[in-house]
């Protein structure tokens, strides 16, 4: 590690304490992606024009697709030998950790059948219902009584805005995914 430009040190016994991890720096993700992109393009993948984080490889009947999200990589291929070759190639460029078959990604549950892949948001929805204490609620035709008169209540206010905002944010994931 190099000291900041304005910091002059004449004593070799001093140390510099980091206030955040190097991994969390703004520059870390773009540099990692640039290195990953270089490696994967040299392997023979083509970068998708509509989505720069999608890489596609096709040679004869062999097909592979790589999707990158931050520093997670999903590889889908119809050729298991190509997967092994790709894993060893990437390991020579970057430290990788193979986590096996995809089960969850961005709150999506992934299940494979013989000819299809099924995505579900069941677990995400159940987690939100559990967190809000509404897991045991019974379904009804209407969310509230029909013809119910609503009046503006000026006496009470929402005491904890943070939990309300967090709940709205949690519901945005399954709604927009």
In a domain, 10, yes or no: no
Q: What angle do CA 104, 105, 110 make, to 5 degrees?
A: 50
Q: Which domain holds residue 53?
A: 22-98
Task: Please say which residue of 70, 98, 126 terminates a domain.
Answer: 98
pLDDT value, residue 124: 86
Residue 128 domain flag: yes
142 in a domain, yes or no?
no
**Is 80 a member of any domain?**
yes
DSSP state, residue 156: -
Give residue 97's pLDDT: 87
Residues 116, 76 share a domain: no
CATH number of the domain enclosing 49: 3.30.310
Q: Tell me: do 86 and 128 sit in the same domain.
A: no
Q: Are residues 121 and 56 in the same domain?
A: no
Tokens 């790709």, located at residue = 86
3-state SS, 10-56, equals CCCCCCCCCCCCHHHCCCHHHHHHHHHHHHHHHHCCEECCCCCCEEE
Residue indicated by tokens 């990437």: 90
Q: Are residues 28 and 45 in the same domain?
A: yes
Looking at the fold, whether 114 and 69 belong to one and the same domain comes out as: no
Contact assessment for residue 88 and residue 39, using Cβ atoms and an 8 Å cutoff: no
Q: Are residues 54 and 40 in the same domain?
A: yes
More confident residue, 77 or 154: 77
Do 121 and 93 fall into the same domain? no
pTM, entire model: 0.63
The pLDDT value recorded for residue 2 is 64
For residues 37 and 94, state if they share a domain: yes
Q: Are 124 and 133 in contact (CB under 8 A)?
A: no
- Non-local (6+) Cβ contacts of 96 within 8 A are 73, 87, 90
| 63-121 pLDDT tens trace | 999 999 887 888 988 888 888 999 999 889 888 888 888 888 887 888 888 888 888 98
Shared domain check, 38 and 67: yes
Domain end position, chosen among 76, 98, 120 = 98
Write out the two tokens for 2. 């190099």
54 and 112 co-located in one domain: no
Together in a domain, 112 and 57: no
Task: Find the DSSP H helices in the chain.
Answer: 28-43, 80-93, 122-132, 161-176
The answer to whether the Cα torsion of 62, 49, 51, 72 is positive or negative is positive
* Tally of domains in the chain: 2
14 assigned to some structural domain: no
Q: What gap in Å lies between CA 63 and CA 116, rounded to an integer?
A: 16
Alpha-carbon gap, residue 127 to 135, rounded angstroms: 9
Residue 4 domain-assigned? no
- Do 93 and 105 belong together in one domain? no
- CB 110 within 8 Å of CB 104: yes
């Amino acid at each position: 590690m190099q000291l900041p430009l304005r910091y002059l040190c004449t004593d070799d016994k001093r140390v510099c304490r980091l206030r955040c991890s190097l991994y969390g720096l703004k520059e870390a993700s773009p540099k990692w992606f640039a290195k990953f992109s270089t490696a994967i393009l040299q392997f023979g993948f083509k970068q998708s024009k509509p989505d720069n984080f999608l890489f596609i490889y096709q040679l004869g009947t062999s097909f592979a697709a790589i999707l990158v999200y931050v520093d997670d990589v999903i590889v889908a291929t119809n050729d298991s030998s190509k997967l092994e070759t790709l894993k060893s190639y990437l390991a020579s460029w970057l430290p990788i950790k193979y986590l096996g078959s995809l089960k969850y990604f961005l709150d999506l549950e992934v299940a494979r059948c013989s000819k299809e892949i099924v995505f579900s948001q069941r677990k995400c929805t159940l987690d939100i219902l559990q967190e809000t204490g509404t897991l045991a609620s019974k379904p009804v035709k209407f969310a509230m009584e029909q013809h119910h008169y609503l009046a503006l209540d000026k006496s009470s206010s929402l005491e904890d805005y943070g939990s309300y905002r967090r709940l709205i944010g949690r519901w945005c994931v399954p709604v927009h995914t």
